[in-house]
Amino acid sequence: RAGVGSATLHRHFPSRQALLEAVFKERVEALCAKADDLLAEPDPGRALTTWLHAVGAHAVANRGLGSSLMRDGDPALGETCHDLITAAGDALLARAQAAGAVRAGITIAPLLKLVGAIALATEQETDGPAEADLLLSIAIDGVRAH
């Protein structure tokens, strides 16, 4: 599908694991770039919500790839990806809290766990992505400032 021969692929990626790690890291970097772009969104609460939905879509689309890679691959990749996602989310959350859109006391770690749990809970559903999106919308209502 990539339009390259097998030899070219193996020159750049010595194993299937290395290829999967590169693909996963690229997806994480794209997710974090989206967070950076959303920092310019005029509504900080909407920016955070948009990004959390993107994190949910990422988790649903990767269905266990991340945890599999962390279990069988380079442990540094897991730390790097986790740190990238956490930093991206922290920036959006801080901005939303400063604007009064998200209540104080919320941190990014439990929000990311919540998104991951929702993705896991819906992965066997016929329409898992839509179900995950709905559940995340319900949960996000609980972190908004009142």
Instruction: Give residue limits of the domains in the chain.
Output: 21-141
Per CATH, the homologous superfamily of domain 21-141 is: Tetracycline Repressor, domain 2 (1.10.357.10)
List pLDDT tens digits, range 28-56: 999 999 999 999 999 999 999 999 999 99
3-class secondary-structure state, position 110: helix
List pLDDT tens digits, range 84-107: 999 999 999 999 999 999 999 999
Q: Return the pLDDT at 70.
A: 60
User: Distance of CA 82 to CAs 30, 75, 107, 108, Å?
Assistant: 14, 11, 15, 11
Mean pLDDT of 68-76: 66
User: Distance of CA 137 to CAs 7, 30, 70, 118, Å?
Assistant: 46, 22, 28, 11
- Among 61-65, 77-81, 108-112, the range with the most confident prediction by mean pLDDT is 108-112
